[in-house]
Amino acid sequence: MEMIHSDNAPAALGPYSQAMRVGSLVYTSGQIGIDPAVGKITATDVAGQAEQVCKNLAAVLSAAGTDLSHTIKTTCFLAEIADFAAFNEVYARHFTGKPARS
């Protein structure tokens, strides 16, 4: 196993890593819309927060030598179902390989 770290994504807030590589697979920890430059959530809407989440994930995957196009599964959580369309628009721009999703 290999721990993956990127300075371009928020540091883990607890005793866990941003990601781990096991063989040829990379397992990422959950992300929220924290802007790593300031250490807090700066976007006030779901689209802005989703955009930041995708940037954070891309940074972690880049540190592992891969990218979002190689994602095979995601799990997404929304506080409000009314935000689904705005979230989905951002998601579709970043996850072009259409990974499985929960």
pLDDT in tens, 19-59: 999 999 999 999 999 999 999 999 999 999 999 999 999 99
Q: Give the model's confidence band at 74: pLDDT under 50 very low, under 70 low, under 90 confident, else very high.
A: very high
Supply the CATH number for residue 79's domain.
3.30.1330.40
How many structural domains are present in the chain? 1
Mean pLDDT of the chain: 97
Q: What percentage of the chain exceeds 90 in pLDDT?
A: 99
50, 33 contact by CB (below 8 A): yes
Angstrom distances, CA of residue 90 to CA of 24, 36, 49, 52, 85: 27, 19, 10, 10, 9
> What is the extent of the structural domain holding 54?
2-101
Q: Is the pLDDT of residue 13 over 90?
A: no
Q: Give the model's confidence band at 98: pLDDT under 50 very low, under 70 low, under 90 confident, else very high.
A: very high
Q: CA neighbours within 13 Å on the CB side: how many for 31?
A: 26
Both structure tokens of 98: 């259409």
- Alpha helical stretches, state H, the chain: 46-63, 84-94
Q: Is the pLDDT of residue 18 over 90?
A: yes
Residue 57 DSSP one-character state: H
What's the pTM? 0.94
